[in-house]
Amino acid sequence: MAAELLRESFQIQGRNFDKAGEISSEIKVILKDLDIDAACLRRVVIVAFEAEMNVVMYADRGTLTLILTDQDICLDVKDEGPGIPDIDLAMKEGYSTASDEMREMGFGFGMGLPNMKKNSDDFCIESAVGKGTSVFARVRLDSHA
């Protein structure tokens, strides 16, 4: 059984592009402070950033929880928002419902969810339309992608 070492939660404000990316930056600082292996850090930061951005772009509000154990780093992201009607479709590379405005800011390539999956050792996503979405990703400390 993995022993939990650290757990921290962060609130994400939906539709607030000013602060977008701050939480994943903070997570990077924490993991760097802890001298986490560079490859592992990178994967976690990518997953955290894409998850954070999806909440910012599509949901009303959300929480990102970072859980560090002696074996892995997990990100648990839950939001209140419109939810995703067809998860298989949303997971496809290039599928996006981003607005023109978001595309102008350099988002909306439909790569976020696929990248999150690619960069984690375990990944699951659940969603209830009209309620919200939850994403759970696990990156092993000894993973070398």
Partner 1 sequence: MPELKHGFKIDTAKCVGRMHCMRACPTHAIRVKDGKAHLIPELCIDCGSCLGVCPSKAISATTITLAELDRFKFKVAVASPALFTQFGLGDTPAQVGRALLDLGFDAVWEYAVDIELVDRAITDCVKKWPGPFPLISDSCPVIVRLIQVAYPSMVEQIIPIEVPREIAGREVKRRYSQELGLRPEEIAAIYITPCQAKSISILQPAEESKSYLDGAVGISEIYNDVLYRLRKSTAKLKSDTQEGLMDSGELFHWGNPEGEFPNLSREHYLPLIGLTDIIKVFDDIERGRLTNIEFLECHACQGGCNGGNLTIENLYVARSKNLHLKANMPKPPLEFEREVARRYGSEDFSLRGSVKPRSLAKDVVDLRARVMRRKRAEEILKGLPLLNCGLCGAPSCKDHADDVALARSEISDCVFLSKARIDLLRKIYKKGPRASKG
- Chain residues binding ligand ATP by CB under 6 A are 50, 54-55, 57-59, 79, 81-84, 90, 95-98, 107-114, 133
Q: How far apart are CA 22 and CA 117, in angstroms?
A: 21
CB of 131 to ligand ATP, least distance (A): 10
Interface residue list for partner 1 (CB under 8 A): 5-6, 21, 24-25, 28, 30, 32-35, 38-39, 41-42, 45-46, 49-50, 68, 70, 106, 115, 119, 141
Written as six digits, the tokens of 129 are: 């339309």
Q: How far is CA 17 from CA 21, 76, 82, 125, 136, in A?
A: 8, 21, 18, 23, 23
Residue 22: how many CA atoms within 13 Å on its side-chain side? 11
Cα-Cα-Cα-Cα torsion 29, 31, 34, 40, nearest 10 degrees, comes to -140
Instruction: Identify which of 44, 11, 57 has the alpha carbon closest to the alpha carbon of residue 119.
Output: 44
Is residue 88 within 8 A of residue 82, CB to CB? The reply is no
Q: Which is nearer to ligand ATP, 21 or 82 (CB)?
A: 82
Residues 54-73 that bind Mg ion (CB under 5 A): 54
CB of 103 to ligand ATP, least distance (A): 8
CB of 84 to partner 1, least distance (A): 21
CB of 55 to Mg ion, least distance (A): 9
The one of Mg ion, ligand ATP, partner 1, none whose footprint includes residue 5, by CB under 5 to 8 A per kind, is partner 1
Residues 111-140 that bind Mg ion (CB under 5 A): 112
